[in-house]
Structure formats: structure tokens, C-alpha cells
Structure 1
Amino acid sequence: MSALFKRIDTVFLEVTNMERSIGWYTEVLGFSVRWHDVENGYAAIEMGETPLTLVRAEKVTPGSHCLLNFYSSDIYDAHKKLLESGVQVEDVIDYGTVLSFEFKDPDGYILGVCYFEEEQVTTRENL
């Protein structure tokens, strides 16, 4: 942890169609809208501690690699649900200690899903 920074507050993602993107991130991925500023073209999507802030743009240029990874405790169920929703998904790849796959959002951004065994944190309650 940095002495200057506690966490990433938000991740910004430019989108060409705000309503389509809000619908996709909420309906397909199951996130919720934290806030939406229609006039200025911003919407924050609730994804846990760090929201994804969608920013209205005329044009976007998705990269050739994965932009961010979502963690899933059941990667095969996540893969199946995305396929059933008509999302373009790649096969699940087993890297030994990590499973992952990639998929694309409506603007063509490559997003990922990963799974790995989380270490149990020892606390007073589970001693």
C-alpha cells in the first residue's frame, strides 16, 4: 500500500452509446448504477469497491489486450451466463493456478474473468 494512496477510486471507460452501455453492464453483467449524470455524459457502475465510470465519447479505440479482469468464484457459471446472453466470449484457459477467459463489451473493449483459489485470511473470529 502506498503512503499517498489508499485505493483506486474509479476506472474511466469511454463509450459511444451511454444508454446501451448502461443497459449492458447492468442487465448482462448484473451490476447496478451508482449515479448517472445525463447532461455531462457520465455514469458510475457499481462493481464493488471500485466503480466503473462510463464517459460519453464520439469514438472509442479499444486496445488489443484485456482492459480489466473481473474475479468470479464460479468461472464456468460466469462463462455460461455470458454465452447465454449472447456475449462474444473466448474459451476458459487453465494456466495451472489461474483460470481465465476474455469477452467483449458493446464498444469492443476486451474484458476478462479470472478465478483462483483465494487464501483464507486468519482472523480472531475463525481461530
Structure 2
Amino acid sequence: MSLVKLNEMITIAMSVTDRHKSADWYQKILGFEVMYHADEAGWSEIKTNTQNVTIGLGEHTKPAPGNCVPVFGIADLDNARGKMEDAGVRFDGPTDVVEGMVKTATFYDPDNNALMLAEDLSGAA
């Protein structure tokens, strides 16, 4: 039995220098659909051709090469984070909240690979 219950959505977060240009590339080359651009959050999201798998593009002036973070959807991030921290899982700072959009928390596996939990706050889920 697992410690927390994830939902059926996976977002693969990637750092890019220009979200709009990258989203256009994924649309043109791979046929992915641009879902939205959240300019105020520096974030764009595209729908892949795999059900319930999206790619999130976070805009950074100097993205890390090869940067890719799997983001797992979850209904109650605070509860899950508490259980994971009690089990010794290391998190990268406090939970980030973009009101009316999303709540996220980055954590690490035993090999120091970054992963993220995300709770939808938009009411759309």
C-alpha cells in the first residue's frame, strides 16, 4: 500500500527560455496541443498525444540543460506532504501556491532526482 494516493494526471515540467516558442515547436513537430499560456506565472502547458500526460513549460533565463521534472497530480497536497515528510522524504522549501491555479511542492527521491506534487486549485478538476 502506498503512502499517498496520486490521481491519474502526469505533467512533465521542463525549463525553457521562451515558452511560446517552445510550445509552437511541440505543436508543429509533435502535433501536441497548446492548452494555455499563464503569462503571469511564467508557465505554459501543452497536451501530449498520451491521455492524461501534459508538458509544462516553465520560463527561465538560464534553464538547466536536460532539466525535466515529473509532476504528479494529487487531490490534497498538504496531507500528502505531511505523510511524506514524516516518512523522511526531503522537500525543496515551502509549498508554492498560485491562487486560483495550482499548489506545488518539489521533493527528491533517494538519488536526488526532483519530482513534484501538484494540486489543482482552479476548480476545473
Same fold (TM over 0.5): no
Q: Give me the TM-score of the superposition, normalised by structure 1.
A: 0.44
Q: Relative contact order (C-alpha < 8 Å, sep 6+): which is higher?
A: 2
Length-normalised TM-score, structure 2 = 0.45
Higher strand share: 2
